[in-house]
Amino acid sequence: MKGLLIKDWRLALQQKRFFVMILIISFFLNFNLNGNFSTGYLTFVGAMFVMSTISYDEYDNGYLFLMSLPVSRQTYVKEKYLFGFLLGMAAWLLAAVFFVVYQLAVTADFTMGDTFLIILIYIPIFIIVIDVLMPFQLKYGGEKGRIVMFAFIGGMLALGYLFVLLIKMLGVDLSQNLYAVSYVDVVFGEIAFFLLAAVVTGISMAVSIRIMKKKEF
């Protein structure tokens, strides 16, 4: 698995200009839009790069070469999940730094505890997104996998928009309800979300391993 991680890391380094551009965009988004938005943006862009590494592996019969090495298909799948989680966490840490800088610059009553809870929720979210997309990427490959990925992201954005629209139509003041939720409730809610992400990861990895074992090169 170490060799696969090194391979994917070197692939990521070949895209360093792209990552630098994303970092610059995320930094300025903090001061032009809501800083919380740029945190999610940078986290998801970083995590989604693992899908590109699968496309690189498929190119020019790359799978045939990889499977000729002392690497099992199960190990290959586990490495992809691990690499995606590592990239997502690295991106999240950078985004967290940007968000804290933004809060210090524009918020007078900045508190680290509240800020940490706000941005912590992105970790289980990006893990679940990877869990959902990974089986499709392994099953359908680069082109169809990207279509599924964009369809999933578009669907999530549409659901979010419909949820906000429904809340407004019902006349519910969401901000007041959020203030009524206690700190303890928020903590337990995020713990539950992390547990959900762990369960979804286990299911997704089992499905992906099965897909990879049946895959013909």
The whole-model pTM stands at 0.77
DSSP for 163-184, written as a single string: HHHHHHHTT--HHHHHHHS-HH
Residues 102/108/112/117 CA torsion (nearest 10 deg): -80
* Domain count along the chain: 1
* Domain extent for 164: 2-214
| pLDDT per position as a tens digit, 163-182 | 667 766 766 554 455 545 55
Rounded Cα–Cα distance for residues 98 and 104 (Å) = 10
**Which DSSP string corresponds to 34-52?**
-HHHHHHHHHHHHHHHHHH
Q: What is the pLDDT of residues 18-39, one digit of tens each?
A: 777 777 776 666 655 555 666 7
What is the enclosing helix (H) or strand (E) of 162? helix 122-169
> Which residue would you say has higher pLDDT here, 67 or 204?
204
Q: Mean pLDDT of all residues in the chain? A: 76
Q: Are 6 and 83 in contact (CB under 8 A)?
A: no
**Res 184: pLDDT:** 58
pLDDT in tens, 113-141: 666 777 788 888 889 888 888 888 888 77
Amino acid letter at 164?
Answer: V
Instruction: Give the whole-angstrom CA distance, residue 134 versus residue 152.
Output: 12
